[in-house]
Structure 1
Amino acid sequence: MGGRTRGPGWYRGDCHLHTVHSDGELTPAELAAAARAAGLDFLVATEHNCAAPPGAWDGLDGDDLLILLGQEVTTRTGHWLALGLRPGQLVDWQHRVGSAAFDRALREVRAAGGMCVAAHPHAPYPGGDLMFPLEAFDAVEVWNGAWASDRPWNADNHAAHAEWGRRLAAGVRAGHWQPALGNSDTHLRGQLGTPQTVVFAEELSPPAILAALRAGRSWIAESSAVQLEFTAEADGRRAGIGERLDTAGRPAGLYLRLSGVRDPQVRVHTERGKAPWEPGMRVEAAETSFVRVEVRHPDGRPAALTNPILLT
């Protein structure tokens, strides 16, 4: 779905939401209007264990809003997101840890050109705690805003984000790290786009958006008010979020532009831990395989989280 494509650039989206066709309170038309109001460029409809009814999203997309289809695969041993499904495609959810049906479901999503995302892996309700191995998925949802109205950043998000961060160095060095995503998990009015994933794609089309999400060319923002640009440069070469920088053995200079956050607390994360952001900071590829940044409010709530820049 979608109108005329737009070229290379940063696009804002929400990849986890529900309508009246599963357990949400908003219609597709209301969510499309909310997406435009929230400054989003794309969204993915992810009903629980059901495909969007034929025609449910027809006419709601356009040059300013791309709509992709998906599903929240809701099992008794955790939930995961199937993003980029074909119209009418339904992913089997009757599988458990270790079953062949789980592997088969993942293959079917990828064969359709889609991607598989571990959803809210530490959700505190029956079946919400993800028991499937994280490495089976293409990405991990580390920031879920389903309770944004009263708990913008809760213990469940903290646990998911910390687990992702602990696994990052090993994944980067092994060549199969998983990007972090942030989604609203909208069920109620006013939740959409809190948070949102900001992705650099070659165009606003389903294949380009999904390819960029898989590559980790993205960062997470609490709202469209937050603007961020993070790059690293060495030996005349520059790389952005999700890209690899060949430093040629030289220190990499870090560059950050940030707006939309009052009194931001910025931390730079590497394999050696975290440090407060300082203009002119440099890192050595001999000491860390990646660098990423986190932006928080004075009370510790996150405003933005980036995927890593990879260093060699």
Structure 2
Amino acid sequence: MSSSSFPPTRAVGRGPAWYRGDCHVHSVHSDGELTPEEVALQARGARLDFIATTEHNSAAPPGAWGHLAADDFLIVLGEEVTTATGHWLALGIDPGEVVDWNHQAGDGLVDQRLDQVHRGGGLCVAAHPHAPYPSGDFMFPFRGFDVVEVWNGLWTSDRPWNADNEAALAEWGRSLAADIRTGSWRPAMGNSDTHVEGQIGIPHTVVFAEELSTDAILAGIRAGRSWIAESADVDVSLGAHAHGRVAGVGEELATHGGQVEVQVAVRGVPVGTVSFHTDRGKVHRVPLPGEGADAVQWATTAEDSAFVRVEVRHPDGHVAALTNPIILT
């Protein structure tokens, strides 16, 4: 089997940069309606820099995706491991590799499957934890998984948000306080779960990576150097400042007991709100200042806030973007 029939693991890219990607995508090679060519074309149209192929319980076929990669477009190999008690994504697996799906919550076998992916440098994502169909509810413990897909676009209509995503976000948000204190927090990500035309990139994850490669993208996701956008029209910048030091999403800021200035700038959502969330829950909420206006600011301390993350919502309450936390120490 020639490796040239599979996409390369590195693209030219833009060097260290923020890259937009959708890591939950199906084609006609499982239960999707789009060919790989159509998926790639629509991903490029959605202004994505990378996608991951995640067919149900099967490897990407040789020759299906390799010719669609480009200097500015990375294709990551993956699988949606579809079990009777929840689905999860294995990202960054080897060409032809299949992760066995014959396991379920309580039988003790999932750890072996997670280890298989981790040994190869891959990433394990708990997918759509509250999906509204049999086997969609995620019944495995999050322990051992690297990331939680809190925003899944498959079962949405006019906008990529619904009650199932709201429940997944709330569950993840509640876990952050305890997990951050133990150094074992899991970043959030968002994906479209594309099956039909017009879904791809709604939503997607924006990742800071050292280069446009499988290893670098997965490292950025694993570290939480990422945020989630409903489309490429939306851009969010979150930073925390203390005593001349600056930290961004997924990073740690040593405050030495001083005040922390948190600043967030949003583009592409002219009307709505920004809310600030810490280990005390939602602590501050302000209207968006509008296009071209100054950034929204908020002040706190590490004593009051073990971390800070933000959510950007439309007037109807639907999420437009959300970030992983900045850790304050």
Normalising to structure 2: TM-score of the pair? 0.93
Q: What stretches of structure 1 of length at least 5 have no aligned partner?
A: none
1:16 touches 1:185 (CA, 8 Å); kept in 2? yes
Separation in 2, partners of 1:27, 1:283: 49
Q: Which moved more, 1:92-101 or 1:241-250?
A: 92-101
Number of the residue aligned with 2:48: 40
Separation in 2, partners of 1:34, 1:285: 43
Separation in 1, partners of 2:301, 2:250: 18
Aligned-residue offset at 1:59? 1.2
Number of the residue aligned with 1:276: 285
What amino acid is the match of 2:301?
E
Separation in 1, partners of 2:214, 2:75: 8
2:18 touches 2:207 (CA, 8 Å); kept in 1? yes
What amino acid is the match of 1:291?
V
Separation in 1, partners of 2:202, 2:160: 8
1:139 touches 1:179 (CA, 8 Å); kept in 2? yes
Distance 1:280 1:53, change over 3 A: closer
Separation in 2, partners of 1:254, 1:284: 10
Q: 1:300 is paired with a residue of what secondary structure?
A: coil
Separation in 1, partners of 2:247, 2:317: 28
Separation in 2, partners of 1:149, 1:288: 36
What amino acid is the match of 1:276?
R
1:26 aligned to 23, 34, 38, which one? 34
1:148 touches 1:194 (CA, 8 Å); kept in 2? no
1:85 aligned to 93, 98, 103, which one? 93
Q: 1:208-287 alignment to 2 at 5 Å?
A: 208-274=216-282, 275-277=284-286, 279-287=296-304
Number of the residue aligned with 1:290: 307
Q: Which moved more, 1:273-282 or 1:162-171?
A: 273-282
Question: Are residues 1:156 and 2:164 paired?
Answer: yes
Q: 2:125 is paired with a residue of what secondary structure?
A: strand
The Cα offsets for residues 215-261 of structure 1, whole Å up to 9 and x where unpaired, read as 00000000000011000000110000000000111011011111100
Q: 1:162 is paired with a residue of what secondary structure?
A: helix
Separation in 2, partners of 1:273, 1:90: 40
The Cα offsets for residues 110-147 of structure 1, whole Å up to 9 and x where unpaired, read as 11110100000111111111110012210000000002
Separation in 2, partners of 1:207, 1:174: 26
2:13 touches 2:72 (CA, 8 Å); kept in 1? no
What amino acid is the match of 2:308?
V
Number of the residue aligned with 1:97: 105
Question: Are residues 1:310 and 2:327 paired?
Answer: yes
Distance 1:195 1:98, change over 3 A: same
Q: 1:95 is paired with a residue of what secondary structure?
A: coil
Separation in 1, partners of 2:249, 2:298: 16
Q: What stretches of structure 2 of length at least 5 have no aligned partner?
A: 1-7, 288-295
Number of the residue aligned with 2:154: 146
Number of the residue aligned with 1:4: 12
What amino acid is the match of 1:238?
V
Separation in 2, partners of 1:37, 1:214: 26
RMSD: 1.2
Count residues in correspondence. Answer: 312
Distance 1:152 1:280, change over 3 A: closer
Number of the residue aligned with 1:126: 134
Separation in 2, partners of 1:34, 1:283: 42
2:56 touches 2:82 (CA, 8 Å); kept in 1? yes
Q: 1:104 is paired with a residue of what secondary structure?
A: helix
Aligned-residue offset at 1:69? 0.5
Q: 1:165 is paired with a residue of what secondary structure?
A: helix
2:11 touches 2:212 (CA, 8 Å); kept in 1? no
Q: 2:207 is paired with a residue of what secondary structure?
A: strand
Aligned-residue offset at 1:162? 0.6
Aligned-residue offset at 1:150? 4.5
Large movers: runs of 4+ above 6 Å: none
What amino acid is the match of 1:161?
L
Normalising to structure 1: TM-score of the pair? 0.97
Distance 1:150 1:228, change over 3 A: closer
